[in-house]
Chain A
Amino acid sequence: MADSVAIEHEGSHPALQHHFENLEQQREAGTLGMWVFLVTEIMFFGGMFFAYTLYRTKYPAAFASASNHLSLTLGAVNTAVLIFSSFTMALAVYSAQTGKRRNQVVCLALTILLGLTFLGIKAVEYHDKYVDHLIPGRLLPSRPFDASDVHLLPGAAPQNVEMFYWIYFAMTGMHAVHMIIGVGLLSVILFFAWRGRYGPEYHNPVEISGLYWHFVDIIWIFLFPLLYLLGRHLEH
């Protein structure tokens, strides 16, 4: 099919796809596409935030009791780790824009490392919940949910404490899945960055992977106070 050869732009950048006029238009289109995807993600997490709001207002004492059993230290450290990773991600985009290949590679590697640190701490927390019989329902048939390790505030019922843990695992679990996808995504970007594909002219893949990473950070910015800090002030 000799006719279907792509239209060649004279002297254009090798990364420019033939259906775009120029790199600028290509960048705008890519960024817009990522934002449309993030909108669907906001709606997806929105449903879970809604479930949280509904049950928290319905069972405030049980939710506060269950929340107090989470490790505030691990939660707070993880928040800082994720914010730091967003910062290094932003620096990776900056390094690509300013054509600093070495910095770009270092920043991307740091971001991945911090993402893995977050997941590691999350795994420690999940293990603590496993030890305390707080995996909800009968997800683990040999280890059914048992709220006896949780200090119940007045008016808190054990089955509603379990409701909190369903929501906790659903939300942090979905967030962790997004983190794992993010780490995978950035590993690919890191490979190409190391090969020197991204520079001041063309770096949209770095930019839109960054958008995704920051979005996952924002979800955690809301999850941390909502899940870890909702009943601490009632304890003493």
Chain B
Amino acid sequence: MSEHIVSLKIYVSIFLALLVGTALTVWAGLHDFPGQLNVIIALTIAVVKATLVVLYFMHVRYSSRLIWVVFTSALFWLAILFALTLNDYWTRSWL
């Protein structure tokens, strides 16, 4: 698989999208949304920004399948770390 060169236009668009995302997250953080919506909005914006960086700045979108597998395995193990440990902490008071 030969190397793919991401165009300047894409780099500039991603850069602008990341700045807009930052402004959006600050704006959303100053507004009082009902319930847990504030956390959900903040994390959604962060995940979208991180995904843009991974796919375009880090070229994962154009990389081999192997890189995809290695990267998603990290997310998978992180999910295990959070899910199993939190289910212990959050249910301890039930005993």
Q: Digit string of A19-51 for contact with B (CB within 8 Å is 1, else 0)?
A: 000001001100110011011001100110010
A213-231 residues with Cβ-Cβ distance < 8 A to B are 214-215, 217-218, 221-222, 224-226, 228-230
Interface contact A32-B70, CB-CB below 8 Å: yes
Q: Is the CB of A24 within 8 A of B2?
A: yes
Q: Would A225 and B46 count as touching, CB distance under 8 A?
A: yes
Cβ-closest chain A residue relative to B54: A218
Number of interface residues of A (CB under 8 A): 49
Q: Which 8 A-B pairs have the closest CB atoms?
A: A229-B29, A225-B42, A233-B32, A39-B74, A87-B15, A42-B74, A46-B78, A83-B18
State whether the Cβ of A89 lies closer than 8 Å to any Cβ in chain B. yes
**CB of B81 within 8 Å of the partner chain:** yes
Option from B26, B31, B77, B86 in Cβ contact (under 8 Å) with A76: B26
Which DSSP category, helix, strand, loop or mixed, fits chain B's interface?
helix
Distance in Å from the Cβ of A115 to the closest Cβ of chain B? 15
Chain A's nearest CB lies how many Å from the CB of B79?
10
- Residue from the set B50, B63, B73 with the largest chain A CB neighbour count within 10 Å: B50
Residue in contact with A221 in the complex, picked from B11, B31, B49, B75, CB distance below 8 Å:
B49
Query: Contacts of B74 on A, CB cut-off 8 Å?
Result: 38-39, 42-43
> Total A-B residue pairs with C-beta atoms closer than 8 Å?
127
List the B side residues contacting A86 at CB < 8 Å: 15, 18, 53, 57
B94 to chain A, nearest CB (A): 15
How many chain B residues have a CB neighbour from A under 8 Å?
Answer: 50
Residues of B within 8 A of A226 (CB): 42, 46
Contacting pair B82 A50 (CB below 8 A): yes
Contacting pair A35 B18 (CB below 8 A): no
Contact residues, B2-20 vs A (CB, 8 A):
2-3, 5-6, 8, 11, 14-15, 18-19
Q: Contact between A42 and B78 (Cβ–Cβ < 8 Å)?
A: yes
**Bound Cα distance A189, B6 (Å):** 21
Query: Does residue A7 face the partner (Cβ distance < 8 Å to B)?
Result: no
A53 part of interface (Cβ distance < 8 Å) = yes
Interface flags for A73-107 (1: CB within 8 Å of B; 0: not) read 00010011001101101110010011000000000
A36 CB → nearest B CB, Å: 6
Measured in the bound complex, the distance between the Cα atoms of B25 and A207 in whole Å is: 29
Q: Are B11 and A43 in contact (CB under 8 A)?
A: no
Contacts of A50 in B (CB 8 A): 81-82, 85-86
A155 vs B17: C-alpha distance in the bound complex, in angstroms? Answer: 38
